[in-house]
Amino acid sequence: MGERAEDLLFKTTGSKWLLPVGRLLGLPIDQVNFMSCQLFALAAAFWFRLYLSPGHASPLVRHTFATLLGIGILIFCFGWYSAHILAVVVASYFIIVKGDINNVHRYTMVTAMGYLTACHVSRVFIYNYGILSTDFSGPLMIVTQKITTLAFQLHDGETNECLSARCSLITPVLPRARPSLIEYLSYNLNFLSVLVGPCSNYKDHIDFIEGRHITVIKVNTTVTCLSPNDKAVCRKLVVCCCCLLFFFVVTRSLPITFNVNPDFVSHAPFLSRLTYAFFSIQAARPKFYFAWTLADAVNNAAGFGFRGMDGSGKPCWDLISNVNIIGIETATSFKTFIDNWNIQTGVWLKAVCYDRAPRHRLALTFILSALWHGVYPGYYFTFITAIPITMAARALRRSIRHHFLGSRGLKLGYDVVTWMATQLTICYTVMPFLLLSVDHTITYYRSMYFHVHIISVLAAVALHRKHKPTEDSKSASSSSSSAPSSSQCQPVHSNNNKKVL
């Protein structure tokens, strides 16, 4: 049995050139391939910026190089499974080019999400929770975001359809023409974001490839903002190294599955179980921090990701950042945590669902998020649980927060208590996301006595009568708790979306 498990650890449909490295480090070959490709992409990004800059190469050359290298990375990592990603990209392109502009966003959403869901189902029920299969769902999820983002923007741009007061929030610059094949392939399959993303605005990507993103920067900041991206890259690589070290030293010593260990659940007191759950969830975050920060560094190394200058005149390279670590670790509300976690996915969810749903927007957005992540039961436990928690948190904040703003002492005490409550609530909410299965999830909930479910539902019901939630309240909440980078920088040209979950 042990030999079989070891064989599965090094099984992949991708390249096996680095198999000796995987055996030496004791890491699955797919993780070794992923790391190698991201580091290769980082080196290629510097070369791309220096030797294939808009001043040295035509847009066609830049588009072609970025696309071919991205496809090569997919094949190296996933082998023939990369055909799934290429198939949905090509199929969606024909829909975008040939489809009725009034319905193209619906057709692409059904096609991309349907194909993604089919692949998720095969991963769960055919490959036993992904153990026997190289996991190609990550790149497919990113491609799904990009395909649907472009389709919705094309629909909005060509039909001039306005979403009332929310219209201006979707994106300030909408594409007015359907993309050429090479532009479309470059946007979806470029080597900078093909593995981890993030999903960027189509217009931002085209401007970057064609060099037009420089022309919108004021002349007196042009020199300042082009070279310091190396500093931003170095800073993000340092964060990556710290996260990687934390993963090997701490994360591995705090396995998530121990939360549902029968002996631990049966004999450990409640506070011990709660404490271990808290620290094991905290320890699980750095692997996500690592992947998203490295992806951000790769894009920055190529010169993509400049947002603007902050109040002190320093450049902000966070246009497509996917995580704000400080914002997450210091979050004093459930919404603030969400706004700083997987940021670009939140932008996508808001643009394609939250701003367009006529009613039940919060519930529909969380359900779409669960469906996009996969079909593991744990995902649905997490996102469905988040609905009453979000409602209760909104109502509670409106009811009591203003009572603690009178002095610094009260405000500090309020922040400390809400930070602790937020972190424990997040721990409870996302545990099923990592446990995945129904049995493990129910075991964990029982060990916690369903206390967050009970408290959030009671609070939401009790405070609903006093402060009935309104859809308009989202704007103020969004601007007050969005990522700090968005408020500190003067945007050059961004999608300007903020999550409202």
Annotated catalytic sites, by residue? 342, 373
Phi/psi for 425 (5° steps) reads -65, -40
Measure Cα distances from 490 to 313, 477, 486 in Å.
10, 20, 8
Q: Which residues contact 51 (CB under 8 A, 6 or more apart)?
A: 57
The long-range contacts involving 478-486, CB below 8 angstroms and separated by at least 24 positions, are: 478/339, 481/333, 481/335, 481/336, 481/339, 482/339, 483/318, 483/321, 483/324, 483/327, 483/339, 483/340, 483/343, 484/324, 484/326, 484/327, 485/307, 485/316, 485/318, 485/321, 485/324
Measure Cα distances from 358 to 127, 163, 361 in Å.
38, 10, 7
Q: What SS3 state is found at 316?
A: strand
Furthest CA-CA distance within the chain: 67
Q: How many whole angstroms separate alpha carbon 456 and alpha carbon 46?
A: 48
Place of tokens 């469905």: 384
Which region, left, alpha or beta, applies to residue 205 given φ > 0 means left and ψ of -120 to 50 means alpha?
alpha
Q: How many whole angstroms separate alpha carbon 444 and alpha carbon 101?
A: 47
Rounded to 5°, the CA angle 98-187-228 comes to: 155
Q: How many whole angstroms separate alpha carbon 501 and alpha carbon 482?
A: 11
The alpha helices in 302-407, defined as continuous H runs, are: 325-329, 334-339, 343-349, 361-373, 377-400
| C-beta neighbour count of 4 within 10 angstroms | 8
Q: How many whole angstroms separate alpha carbon 1 and alpha carbon 69?
A: 39
Dihedral sign (CA 115, 121, 127, 131): positive
Q: What is the 3-state secondary structure (H, E, C) of 220-263?
A: HHHHHHHCCHHHHHHHHHHHHHHHHHHHHHCHHHCCHHHHHCHH
- How large is the C-alpha radius of gyration of the chain? 23
